[in-house]
Amino acid sequence: MRYALTEQQQARQAEFRDFVASHVDPHAAAWERAQALPSEIITMMAGRGYLGATLPTGYAGQAWDVVTFGQLNEAFGRSSSSLTSVLTVQAMVAMAVLKWGARHQKETWLPRLASGEVIAAFALTEPDAGSDLNALTTEFTRRPGSGTLVVNGRKRWITCAQIAGVFLVFGKLDEQPLACLIPRSTPGVTIDPIRELMGFRAAGLATLSLVNVEVPSENIVAKPGFALSHVMPVGLQYGRISTACSALGLLRGCFEETVVYASERKVDGHPLGDIGMIRRLIARMGTDLAAGNLLCHNACRTEDEHAPEAFENALAAKYFTSQAAVRAASDAVQVRGAVGCHESSPTSRYYGSAKIMEIIEGTTQVHEDLLGKIYLGQRAMLRR
């Protein structure tokens, strides 16, 4: 894969990996145990520009291409899926605002997101509706005679909501899908942390309650009705790319940890890696890693090129890497045995987190449905 990266991309990849090795690896297990991320690490990431990776320099971002953004997510995913989720949701909100927000929204929020002054969260999922925008029950109403909206609703499983300062909330106004920026400090906003997940424990998930929350209508992102067709897709596309690369990092972690262990652990005087059944698992992991790497790079590259297949490619990448990560985590634990089930081995963290990669940003089943539909739609391009 090295070939596919420019020298600059390679240099940044190395930098990301160094950062993670120094500042994430030693603490990732403790963060999961504490079920929280310390603000220091987020500050450090912000200091490196990671929170505004894909934002233009005019908004204090790095203006990195999506391939580089993918490398960033992979490097963090190698160590902590939870911490990577900050990159995910920050990009989801920032890119949706960049693409469809009003100038004043961009000027207000983007520099603060890029600098890490504010963490954003993407408040789409509801307890009953899942991520089906048409079924959302969060309701925006206009206060007559004023530019004020009143919001009522409940959002659940909102990643990073525990630490977020602003939410991109999806709901309905006059039966039209709406996206709106709501600062955490607005009266009526309540955050209930969700703890005791089986993985992804430091990702700061929370339930968000909105009771008679008043926001100025200028906080609406894009016109009413564009939330479903324009705003959400941008966010979800970055969510899928980030998650695909994060799962790829996790898969790489499983692969590397297994290679190291199987090289060093001796059984009857021989390295574990001499055993055919172990080699088989490593061969599968390594090939999945190679394939996942190419699929992720392909998704990022086509996104950089605004190619029409970028959507399909991101789906395929996320679908493949999240499932491969689950397989790899299971095998990585299995190769280590009991040792691999303990938090002192990253494999135990991988095991819980990988499964969650199959659920967030569209479940495997949603991906199968979407990809199936897309592929069937290509029937006309086939000659016979």
Selected range binding a second copy among 47-55, 179-187, 228-236, 277-285, rule: CB under 8 A: 277-285
Indicate the residue among 76 and 100 with the shorter CB distance to a second copy: 76
Task: Check residue 351 for interaction with a second copy (CB under 8 A).
Answer: yes
State the number of CA atoms in the 13 A half-sphere of 38 facing the CB. Answer: 11
Task: Check residue 268 for interaction with a second copy (CB under 8 A).
Answer: yes
Shortest approach of a second copy to residue 350 CB, angstroms?
9
Task: Check residue 282 for interaction with a second copy (CB under 8 A).
Answer: yes
Residues 6+ apart with CB under 8 A from 54: 61, 62, 63, 64, 65, 66, 69, 91, 94, 95, 238
Q: Kindly list the distances between the CA atom of residue 233 and the CA atoms of 53, 239, 328, in Å, as whole numbers in the listed order.
A: 19, 9, 30
Interacting residues with a second copy between 138 and 157 (CB under 8 A): 156-157
Task: Check residue 375 for interaction with a second copy (CB under 8 A).
Answer: yes
Interacting residues with a second copy between 182 and 201 (CB under 8 A): 194, 196-200
Shortest approach of a second copy to residue 259 CB, angstroms?
5
* Chosen residue from 40, 132, 174, 218 binding a second copy by CB under 8 A: 132
Indicate the residue among 99 and 301 with the shorter CB distance to a second copy: 301
Selected range binding a second copy among 114-122, 181-189, 216-224, 362-370, rule: CB under 8 A: 362-370
What is the distance between the alpha carbons of residues 207 and 189, in angstroms, rounded to a whole number? Answer: 10
What is the distance between the alpha carbons of residues 384 and 381, in angstroms, rounded to a whole number? Answer: 9
What is the distance between the alpha carbons of residues 336 and 62, in angstroms, rounded to a whole number? Answer: 40
Indicate the residue among 149 and 194 with the shorter CB distance to a second copy: 194
Give yes or no for a contact between 168 and 94, defined as CB atoms under 8 angstroms apart.
no
How many C-beta neighbours within 10 Å does residue 300 have? 27
Say which DSSP state 126 is in.
B
Shortest approach of a second copy to residue 333 CB, angstroms?
6
The amino acid present at 230, given as its one-letter code, is H
Selected range binding a second copy among 74-82, 144-152, 224-232, 284-292, rule: CB under 8 A: 284-292
Task: Check residue 319 for interaction with a second copy (CB under 8 A).
Answer: yes
How many C-beta neighbours within 10 Å does residue 216 have? 12
* Chosen residue from 63, 111, 117, 130 binding a second copy by CB under 8 A: 130
Indicate the residue among 60 and 275 with the shorter CB distance to a second copy: 275
Q: Is 56 helix (H, G, I), strand (E, B) or coil?
A: coil
User: What is the separation of C-alpha 26 from the centre of its chain, rounded to a whole number of angstroms?
Assistant: 22
Indicate the residue among 16 and 109 with the shorter CB distance to a second copy: 16
Adjacent-strand bridge partners of 363: none
Q: Kindly list the distances between the CA atom of residue 57 and the CA atoms of 11, 53, 327, in Å, as whole numbers in the listed order.
A: 19, 9, 39
Give yes or no for a contact between 248 and 296, defined as CB atoms under 8 angstroms apart.
yes
Shortest approach of a second copy to residue 216 CB, angstroms?
31
Task: Check residue 170 for interaction with a second copy (CB under 8 A).
Answer: no
Selected range binding a second copy among 52-60, 101-109, 142-150, 305-313, rule: CB under 8 A: 305-313
Give yes or no for a contact between 109 and 97, defined as CB atoms under 8 angstroms apart.
yes
Interacting residues with a second copy between 60 and 99 (CB under 8 A): none
Shortest approach of a second copy to residue 199 CB, angstroms?
7
What is the distance between the alpha carbons of residues 280 and 163, in angstroms, rounded to a whole number? Answer: 42
Selected range binding a second copy among 142-150, 182-190, 230-238, 337-345, rule: CB under 8 A: 337-345
What is the distance between the alpha carbons of residues 314 and 237, in angstroms, rounded to a whole number? Answer: 7
Interacting residues with a second copy between 100 and 129 (CB under 8 A): 125
Indicate the residue among 142 and 342 with the shorter CB distance to a second copy: 342
* Chosen residue from 190, 209, 217, 334 binding a second copy by CB under 8 A: 334
